[in-house]
């Protein structure tokens, strides 16, 4: 082989920025094309230096470990038994790596099959929809955008959800939460316009839940929505995620400031009162407001269970 084999001045400058091991391989391949020298000490036939990659094409980069091993043998003068042991090590490592890649590829294909063939049943889809909006509107839920919101809902739905496809159901819950957060923000933003027909909190609440079953129109629901309208007035210029995070942070700060749940209710009641002064009282509309009921009497999923009540930020 030419004495100028390791002369970097004859190597493409782009190769010098590569990973060292890969650069050496590229140097070998490039110099072999330039010098066209015979390399008798490689010792392994070309057919044994490659293996078939995914699909049916041979991968040139798959030979890098064996080729690099041959270069190391030349540099350190490894011959006979020691050189053979290095050859065996390189080939074993190569086979092990390929086996792991095949295993990973098989798992990915299995997951794709599950995602492709599983469809969430209509009954479960309806439950996801109800639980998602109930979570956002329930006066006991302490976060709108909490990082584990979907997991809390899935836990509350454990008797209805398909345990064998939790990841798919969880993704559906996240999607539905995102959808309803967008709906809430859009309707509340629309209600702030002077000519809006939903400026009154009763009109706004009924517009939000008009197509939903199981959500009752109560004073607690009004207070929940007026809090969101308070956030819209003060933080409405924030992006979607930033808006909901700010809403969670503000509610959490009020919780910290209040010594009891009663004191927190007083804070939210004040926000509600200010809203009715500005936009009108519920009794000024044709809508009926149901009396608030304790959680022990409520049979809707909106407030049942600690999973829906303790979704902290």
User: Mind listing the pLDDT tens digit for each residue in 240-279?
Assistant: 889 999 999 999 999 999 888 889 899 999 999 999 999 9
What pLDDT was estimated at residue 4? Answer: 45
* Residues of the chain above pLDDT 70, percent: 67
Contact 129, 305 (CB under 8 A): no
Q: What is the pLDDT of residues 151-195, one digit of tens each?
A: 888 888 766 555 556 788 888 999 999 999 999 999 999 999 999
Query: What pTM was computed for the model?
Result: 0.58
Among 67, 65, 83, which Cα is nearest to 31's?
A: 67
Cα first-last separation, the chain? 67
Mean predicted lDDT score pLDDT of the chain: 75
Better-scored residue on pLDDT, 52 or 287: 287
Lowest mean pLDDT among 33-42, 47-56, 136-145, 154-163: 47-56
Better-scored residue on pLDDT, 113 or 222: 222
Question: What is the average pLDDT across 106-131?
Answer: 76
What pLDDT was estimated at residue 106? Answer: 80
What pLDDT was estimated at residue 300? Answer: 37
Question: What is the average pLDDT across 289-303?
Answer: 51
Better-scored residue on pLDDT, 1 or 308: 1
Tell me the C-alpha distance between 161 and 269, whole Å. Answer: 36
Better-scored residue on pLDDT, 155 or 54: 155
What pLDDT was estimated at residue 78? Answer: 78
Better-scored residue on pLDDT, 52 or 150: 150
What pLDDT was estimated at residue 275? Answer: 97
Band (pLDDT 50/70/90 cuts) for residue 105 is confident
Domain ranges of the chain: 39-117, 122-309
* Residue 309 reports pLDDT greater than 50: no
Question: What is the average pLDDT across 133-159?
Answer: 84
3-state secondary structure of 312: coil
3-state secondary structure of 147: coil
Lowest mean pLDDT among 43-47, 76-80, 233-237: 43-47
Better-scored residue on pLDDT, 296 or 68: 68
Better-scored residue on pLDDT, 291 or 280: 280
Better-scored residue on pLDDT, 145 or 56: 145
Q: Which residues pair with 218 in a beta bridge?
A: 290
* Residue 1 reports pLDDT greater than 60: no
Contact 40, 74 (CB under 8 A): no
Q: Give every CB contact of residue 47 below 8 A, 6+ residues apart in sequence.
A: none
Tell me the C-alpha distance between 214 and 204, whole Å. Answer: 17
Tell me the C-alpha distance between 137 and 2, whole Å. Answer: 78
Q: What is the pLDDT of residues 17-40, one digit of tens each?
A: 544 445 545 555 565 555 554 444
Question: What is the average pLDDT across 55-75?
Answer: 61
* Residue 202 reports pLDDT greater than 50: yes
Q: Tally Cβ neighbours within 10 Å of residue 116.
A: 8
Question: What is the average pLDDT across 39-44?
Answer: 44
What pLDDT was estimated at residue 149? Answer: 84
């Amino acid at each position: 082989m030419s004495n100028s084999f390791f002369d970097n001045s004859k190597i493409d400058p782009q190769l010098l920025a590569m990973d060292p091991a890969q650069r050496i391989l590229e140097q070998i391949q490039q110099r072999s094309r330039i010098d066209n020298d015979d390399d008798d000490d490689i010792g392994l036939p070309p057919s044994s230096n490659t293996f078939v990659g995914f699909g049916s094409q041979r991968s040139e980069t798959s030979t890098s470990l064996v080729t690099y091993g041959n270069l190391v043998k030349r540099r350190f003068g490894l011959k006979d038994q020691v050189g053979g042991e290095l050859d065996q090590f390189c080939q074993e490592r190569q086979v092990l790596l390929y086996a792991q890649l095949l295993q990973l590829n098989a798992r990915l294909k299995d997951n794709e099959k599950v995602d492709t063939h599983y469809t969430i049943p209509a009954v479960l889809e309806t439950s996801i929809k109800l639980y998602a909006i109930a979570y956002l509107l329930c006066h006991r839920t302490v976060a709108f955008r909490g990082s584990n919101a979907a997991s809390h809902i899935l836990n509350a739905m454990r008797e209805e959800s398909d345990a064998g496809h939790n990841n798919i159901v969880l993704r559906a819950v996240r999607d539905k939460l995102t959808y309803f957060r967008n709906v809430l923000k859009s309707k509340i933003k629309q209600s702030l316009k002077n000519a809006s027909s939903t400026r009154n909190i009763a009109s706004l609440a009924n517009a939000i839940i008009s197509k939903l079953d199981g959500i009752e129109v109560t004073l607690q629901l009004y207070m929940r929505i007026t809090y969101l309208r308070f956030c819209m007035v003060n933080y409405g210029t924030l992006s979607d995620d930033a808006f909901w995070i700010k809403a969670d942070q503000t509610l959490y700060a009020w919780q910290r400031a209040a010594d009891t749940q009663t004191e927190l209710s007083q804070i939210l009641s004040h926000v509600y009162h200010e809203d009715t002064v500005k936009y009108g009282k519920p009794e000024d509309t044709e809508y009926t407001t149901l009396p608030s009921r304790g959680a022990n009497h409520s049979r809707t999923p909106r407030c049942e269970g600690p999973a829906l009540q303790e979704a902290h930020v």
